[in-house]
Structure 1
Amino acid sequence: MPRLVPSLSARQRRRALGQVFTPRLVADFMARWVCARRPERVLDPALGEGVFVDAVEALARRSRWSPRIDSFEVDRTVARSQSGHDCRLLTIRWEDFLLADIATHYDAIIANPPYVRHHELEYGESVLRRIDALAGRRLSRATNLYGLFLVRIASLLAPGGRAAIITPAEWLNAEFGVTLKAFLLERNLIDAMIQFDPSLLVFHGALTTAEIVLLRRGRREGDSIRLMNIKTLDDLPAVNLRGARCVRRDDLDPTRKWSPLFDAARAATPAGRSARTRDAHAATGAAMRLGDVATCSRGIATGANTFFALRESERCKWKISLADLRPCITKAAQLRERQLDAVALRRLVERDERILLLHPRRPLCPAMKRYLAHGRSLGVDRRHLPSHRPVWYMPENRPPAPILIAVFSRGEFRVVWNEARAMNLTAYHGIYPRASDGDGADRRKAKQLFKYLCSAAGQRAIALHRRVYGGGLYKLEPRDVEAVEIPNGLMGTK
C-alpha cells in the first residue's frame, strides 16, 4: 500500500488509500447474493466505513442467523465509524489483507477493494510472486490493487462459497485484465457480471464505470455466465439474475475486450471465440484490422500548451512570422465538422483560437529570440517535457496525419479528414495509412478508410474497442484504434 504522510487531509488520505465508498443500495444487493444460503463465515477484506457489514448484519437480524464476520482495514481513522456494529459478529483485523496470514476459507466474501493504480503500489516483488502463485500464472505488473485483491479473494472461497466484488470496469478491457480473466475462467469461478451504465457515477467523485463480478466456487462445467446491465441504482432491489443474458464460458476469450458484452445494441453477441462472435465482427465483412493498413499515433505533447501553441493575437504581439509556426488543432472542440480545410482553419484564426504551433526556423530571428527568452523567464524550459528534448523549444516534428480521431467521446467518435494538413495535439490521435502505390492512389485509399470510420458500420467497429469511463465517457488509445476491424479489401489489401 502507499505510505501515508501524517499531514495528509482526510480527502488526500482517502485518495492515497484508494478508498471509494459503496452506496448502500449496491451493498444491500451484494449482501443478499452472497448471503443467500446463510453463510457461517463472512469476509470483508476492505472494511472502510463498514457499509457491507451493515448490510450483512441487517440481513442476519431479519433472518435470525448469526454469521461470523471477519474484516480487514489499514486505516485506523475509520475505527470510530465501527462502534455501532454487533461486536459478537464482527472481528476487525487492522492490517493489510494482501499481507495477512489467513488460515480460514469463507462461505461468503463481499468487497469493494481499494482503487490504487499499479505505479502507486509499494509491495515488493516477493508479495507479487505470492499473488502469482495463487493465480497460477504471472500477473501483469500493471495490475491495479483491486486486481490483486480479486485473486486473493478467489483463493479464500470455501467449497460452495460466494463472492461479490465491485470494482472499476476497466479490467474487462485493459491489458492487465487478460491474466485476471484467464485465471477466473480457468477456475470456472464467474457466476455473473453486472455492469452499471457508463452514464451512472456509482463511486462519488470517481469518473469510472462500475462493475460487480459474482464468483461461486463449485460451479458445474456447463454452467453459463450471466450478464446484466443496470441503468440506475434504483433498479437494484428488483434485479433478478434469472432474466440475465447467458453466455458459455468457452465462448469468452480473455485476450479480447469484454465491455462489448454489455452493449445493449449487441446483446446477442458474446465477445469471444465462438462462431457467433466471428459473425458479429464480420457483420460488415470485417476480416482485417486497421493496424494492417495504417498506424495510429498520439497527438503531440508540448508540456506547456499555452506557450507552444499561440493565438493570432499573440503572434502579432510578439511579431512572430507565420513561417515559424505550423497550424495545429489543440482542443477537441475546435473540430465540429468531418473535414478540416483551409476555410475552417481560417475561421479558427479569426476566432483567435490557440492553433499556431511553435516551429522555429534556424537561425532564430530576433522576434523568436525574444519569445524564447520570455519562455525561459516563465520556466518553460525547466518543465518535464521541454527539459528532456534535445532542443527545449522544438516540439516533436512529424508529418500531419491525413485522418484525425478524437481521444474521448460521449457517443460516436469524431473522425476528421485533415485536408488542411494541420498538426494535432493530444486531443486527437493521428491515423497514417501506409504508403504503397503513389500519392494519388494512397490518397484515395486513405479517403476510403476515413469514410468507413465515419460510417455506422465503422462506428460500431470502433465501439468494440473503446474504453469505458464513468459519466458516459469513452476513450480510445492508439492501439485500440489499430485493433478496429475493417472490411477485407477496403484499401485494396487482402
Structure 2
Amino acid sequence: MVRTIETHDLVEDRRLTLQTELDRHKTQIERNKFGQFATPTRLAQEILAYGLSLLPENKAIRFLDPAIGTGSFYSALRATHGQRPVAWACGFEIDPHYGEPAQEFWKTTSLDLTLADFTRQEPPTHDEAKSNLLICNPPYVRHHHIDSIDKRRLQNAARDAANIEASGLSGLYCYFLALSHKWMSEDGIAGWLIPSEFMDVNYGKALKAYLLREVTLLHIHRFDPNDVQFDDALVSSAVIWFKKQKPPASHQVTFSFGGTLRQPALIRKINTDELGRTNKWSRYPKRGAESTHTGYRLGDLFTIKRGLATGDNNFFILDEKRALELNIPSQFLRPILPSARYVKGDEIMADSHGVPLLEKRLFLLDCVLPEHEVQHEHPSLWAYLQTGREQVAQRYLCRSRRYWYAQERRPAAPIVCTYIGRSDHDGKPFRFLLNHSQATATNVYLMLYPSSLLMNRLQTDPTKLRTLWHALNTLDHTVLLDNGRVYGGGMHKLEPRELSNVPADDLAAMVGLNGKNPKMQMEFEVMTAP
C-alpha cells in the first residue's frame, strides 16, 4: 500500500513539473483570456475524495472531465479511488499546447483524452456510456472573450441541454456546466469548481434556477476568499455538488464556508424553497436567510450612484501642476477626488474654491463646447485635445458621447464610499468619507446623495449629516460584506444597488424617521406638506 501511494506521488510530481513547464510558455494575459488555471494537487484530491463519498460504493466509476488540461483530477482519481473499480475515464482538452503533452503523459493508462472543444461534441445516447462521476474545473473565460456568434451557439446549446436560459454576460464555465447535463447518467454525481460570483450576480440567476429545478443540489462549499485556491488567478472559488435527478419535495442543501469540504469552518442546511426566494446565496451559511426587512434601507435615505467613468483617467485627470503647464482654462477643470489611499482621514476639507485640501490635488478635464468653439476660443485646450484624438477619442465610452471630451454629470456628493475593500483591512473593508469639497469622484467610489426624505430633515438640522456619517462608519461590516460580492484574496465589492439594500432603521431614527415604513412616511410628508 505504501509503495502504491509513493507511485502516485511520483506520477503527480512529474505531472506538476510538466504543468509548470507548459504554463511557462504561456503569458499571464493568454491564460487569463482562455481561463487556463490548473487545480492544485491537494484541492483536486480533496474534491475527488468527496465526490467518491457521494457515489454509491457498488457503482463502478465512469469518470469524465470536460476540461482536463494535464489531468489534475484524473491524477487525483488514481490516488483516491482505492479498490473501487474504474470502468472508464475520459476527458476533453481544446488546447493542443496542454492536450498533446497530456496525451503522451497518460498514454500507458486507461485515460481516453480527446483533443477537441467539449462544447461542440455530441453527447452519448446510452446511459452506460455516460458519466456517473463528472468532476471539472472549467475554463474561466469572461463573456467579453466569447464572440457573438459563438455566444449565440452556446446559449442555444445550453437551452437544449439543460433548460438554462443563459445571459449574454455568462462566463464560459456556465456553458460547460449546462452542456455537461447530457453527458451525465441518471443519478450521476457532478462536482464543479467554479467562481463563487455566480451566487450573487444577475447572470447567475439562470444557473441557480437549473440547480434548484433540474437537478438535486447537494452541497455548495465556498472557500474563504482570504485563502485563494489558485496562486495565479484572483478568483474566489466554490465547489458545487449535485445529483442528476429532479429534486425531492422540501429538499435541503448543505452550505459550508471556509476550511475544507469535510471539515468546513461553518455549515448549515437551507431549504430549496428559501433558496428560490434569495437573491444572494453567498449569505449562506454565515448570515442565514436573506433579510425580509420591511423598514428603512440606505436607499431610502440616499440616492447612491457610481462615480463617473472618464474613458481614460490618464488623459482626463490632471494634477494641479500639469494643468498649469498645459494652460487649461479653469472653467474646464472640475476638482476630483484621488484614490482613497491618498485620503488619510475620513473627512475631506476644502479651500475657498471647493478644492479638497489634500496632498494630491486632481482636476477633471470637462468641456461641453463644440470643437469649432474650442479651436477658436481656447487654443491651449484645443492643442491638448489633439494629443488624444487618435487613441483616447476612439475609445468606446468617448465615442458614445456628443463630444468625446465631455464628461457625464456627477456633482460632488456629501458622502462617498469606497467601492472595493478588503475583509482583512482592520475590520473595516469600506470607508465612508464626509466630503466638504466640490470634488466629484471616479467610479472607484460610490456617491451618496441625500434623498428628498432625508433632505427634508437636513434642512431643519444640517448637523444630522455628520451624525449619519459617523453611523455609517460604525455599521457592522458583516452587513456590508453580505450585501456585496467577494473575489479572491479577500477583495469585496459593493454596487450601488447592493449598498442601497443595507437595512437602515437605526440611521433613519437618528434623523427622526421612525415608526413608519419608508413608503408610508413619504406619503405622509407629501400629504402634510404646506
Q: TM-score scaled by structure 1?
A: 0.83
Whether 2:138 is the aligned partner of 1:110: answer: no
Tell me how far 1:167 sits from its aligned partner: 0.7
After TM superposition, the structure 1 = structure 2 runs for residues 163-178 of structure 1, keeping only pairs within 5 Å, are: 163-178=190-205
Q: CA deviation at 1:325?
A: 2.4
1:86 deviation in Å? 5.9
Q: Which moved more, 1:130-139 or 1:206-215?
A: 130-139
Which residue number corresponds to residue 404 of structure 2?
A: 392
Select the residue among 355, 374, 382 that pairs with 2:362.
355
- Equivalent residue letter for 1:358: L
> Is this contact kept in 2: 1:67–1:89, CA < 8 A?
no
CA–CA distance in 1 between the matches of 2:437 and 2:349? 4
String of CA shifts for 1:408-450, please: whole Å, max 9, x gaps.
1003211112222321112212122223565714956755654
Kindly indicate whether the alpha-carbon contact (under 8 Å) linking 2:258 and 2:265 is maintained by their aligned counterparts in 1. no
Task: Please show how residues 285-434 of structure 1 align to structure 2 within 5 Å.
Answer: 287-320=295-328, 322-342=330-350, 351=359, 353-359=360-366, 369-379=379-389, 382-384=393-395, 385-411=397-423, 412-434=429-451
Whether the aligned pair in 1 keeps the contact of 2:62 and 2:87 (CA below 8 Å) is: yes
Partner SS for 1:83: helix
1:266-302 CA-to-partner distances (Å, cap 9, x unmatched) read 3xx234xxxxx53xxx5xxx62433344332221222
Equivalent of 1:82 in 82, 96, 103: 103
Alignment correspondent of 1:270: 289
Q: 2:41 corresponds to which residue? A: 24
Which letter does structure 2 place at the counterpart of 1:43?
L
CA contact (8 A) 1:195 1:262 kept: no
Aligned Cα RMSD in Å?
Answer: 3.3
Partner of 1:214: 241
The equivalent residue for 1:120 is 145
TM-aligned CA distance change 1:125 to 1:318, over 3 Å: closer
Q: Distance in 2 between matches of 1:213 and 1:417?
A: 42
> Which deviates more from structure 2 when the two are superposed, residues 245-254 or residues 69-78?
245-254
Check the 8 A contact 2:222/2:257 in 1, yes or no.
yes
What code does the residue aligned with 1:341 have? M
- 2-structure distance, mates of 1:486, 1:449: 10
Once residues 277 and 180 of structure 2 are traced to their aligned partners in structure 1, the CA distance between those partners, rounded to angstroms, is 20
Alpha-carbon shift at residue 241 of structure 1 (Å) = 7.1
Q: How many Å separate the matches in 2 of 1:442 and 1:99?
A: 65
The equivalent of 2:76 in structure 1 is: 55
Which residue does 1:66 correspond to in 2?
A: 86
Q: Distance in 2 between matches of 1:346 and 1:315?
A: 17
Letter in 2 for 1:356: F
Per-residue Cα deviation, 1:471-492 (whole angstroms, up to 9, x for no partner): 1111112222233332285563
Taking a change above 3 Å as real, the CA distance of residues 242 and 119 of structure 1, as seen in their structure-2 partners, is: closer
TM-aligned CA deviation for residue 203 of structure 1: 1.9
How far does residue 198 in structure 1 lie from its aligned partner after superposition?
Answer: 0.9
Q: State whether residues 74 and 95 of structure 1, in contact with CA within 8 Å, keep that contact through their aligned partners in structure 2.
A: yes
* Distance in 2 separating the partners of 1:450 and 1:311: 28
Moved more, 448-457 or 365-374: 365-374
CA pair 179-292 structure 1, distance change in 2 beyond 3 A: farther
Residues in 2 aligned to 1:251 and 1:344: alpha-carbon distance in whole angstroms: 54
Secondary structure of residue in 1 paired with 2:430:
coil
Q: Does structure 2 retain, via aligned residues, the 8 Å contact 1:408–1:476?
A: yes
Which region of structure 1 is more displaced relative to structure 2, 439-448 or 401-410? Answer: 439-448
Aligned to 1:454: 473
C-alpha separation in 2, matches of 1:216 and 1:76: 32
CA contact (8 A) 1:309 1:354 kept: no
Shift of 1:305: 2.2
- Unaligned segments of structure 1, at least 5 residues: 1-8, 272-276
C-alpha change, 1:461 and 1:92, in structure 2 (3 Å) is same
Quick one: structure 1 residues 302 and 50, their matched pair in 2 at CA, closer, same or farther if it must change by over 3 Å?
same
Are 1:179 and 1:254, in contact at CA under 8 Å, matched by a contact in 2?
Answer: no
CA deviation profile, 1:5-47 (whole Å, cap 9, x unmatched): xxxx633543343211100111101111222335431111111
Deviations 1:119-174 (A, max 9, x none): 32242535422312333352322221111222233443323321111011110111
Deviation, 1:464, is 2.0
Match for residue 274 of structure 1? none
Give the C-alpha shift of residue 214 in structure 1: 1.3
Aligned: 1:229 with 2:257:
yes
Q: Out of 180, 184, 190, which is 1:157 matched to?
A: 184
Output the CA distance in 1 between the equivalents of 2:375 and 2:356: 26
Q: Is the 8 A contact 2:415 2:434 kept in 1?
A: yes
Residue identity matched to 2:42: L
Amino acid at match of 2:162: A
Q: Which moved more, 1:106-115 or 1:91-100?
A: 91-100
- Return closer, same or farther for 1:367/1:257 CA change in 2, 3 Å cut-off: same
CA contact (8 A) 2:355 2:438 kept: no
Q: Distance in 2 between matches of 1:446 and 1:138?
A: 45
Name structure 2 gaps, 5 residues minimum: 1-24, 424-428, 522-530
SS in 1 for 2:105: coil
Secondary structure, counterpart of 2:504 in structure 1: strand
Please give the alpha-carbon distance, in whole angstroms, between the structure 1 residues aligned to 2:318 and 2:328. 10
Task: Mark the CA change 1:386 to 1:443 in structure 2 (over 3 Å): closer, same or farther.
Answer: farther
Corresponding residue of 1:252: 275
Shift of the 126–303 alpha-carbon distance from structure 1 to 2, 3 Å rule, reads: closer
Gap change, CA 1:378 and 1:326, over 3 Å in 2: closer
Aligned-residue sequence identity (percent) comes to 27
**Could you tell me whether the CA contact under 8 Å between 2:195 and 2:236 is conserved in 1?**
yes
Q: Take 2:180 and 2:356, find their aligned partners in 1: how far apart are those partners?
A: 54
Give how far 1:467 is off.
1.3
After superposition, the C-alpha distances for 1:309-363 in whole angstroms (9 at most, x for unaligned) are 2222223434455454222103121333332222699996663x24222245977
Contact 2:304–2:497 (CA<8 Å) still a contact in 1? yes
